[in-house]
């Protein structure tokens, strides 16, 4: 993924696919320090036809984004990768 200064407030688009198909609805995200597991989930941020997370207010370090897709009766969790706050 990308590098962001810790002072930023910026949209980070995240591409989520399930069974090879792009998913834009029914997605929540967890943005956690790398090496930890998600505990709480937030609604996806939408901007210009994309979904993702807002990078803002984090200390320097690597962060990992997880997506949870509501796909009744399942709710798969997808590891979307890491980015770095500098």
pLDDT mean across residues, the chain? 95
The pTM assigned to this predicted structure is 0.92
> What pLDDT, in 10s, does the model give residues 2-43?
999 999 999 999 999 988 999 999 999 999 999 999 999 999
Angle (CA) 28 34 85, round 5°: 90
User: What is the extent of the structural domain holding 65?
Assistant: 3-85
> What pLDDT, in 10s, does the model give residues 54-68?
999 999 999 999 999
In Å, how far from its chain's centre is CA 24?
12
pLDDT, residue 74, reads: 84
Element (H, E) at 14: none
Domains in the chain: how many in total?
A: 1
> What pLDDT, in 10s, does the model give residues 66-84?
999 988 888 999 999 999 9
């Amino acid at each position: 993924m990308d590098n962001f200064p810790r002072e930023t407030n910026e949209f980070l688009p995240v591409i989520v696919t399930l069974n090879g198909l792009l998913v834009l609805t029914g997605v929540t995200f967890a943005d956690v320090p790398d090496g930890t597991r998600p505990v709480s989930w937030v609604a996806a941020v939408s901007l210009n036809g994309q979904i993702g997370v807002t990078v803002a207010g984090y200390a320097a370090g690597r962060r990992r984004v997880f997506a949870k897709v509501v796909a009744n009766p399942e709710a798969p969790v997808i590891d979307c990768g890491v980015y770095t706050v500098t």
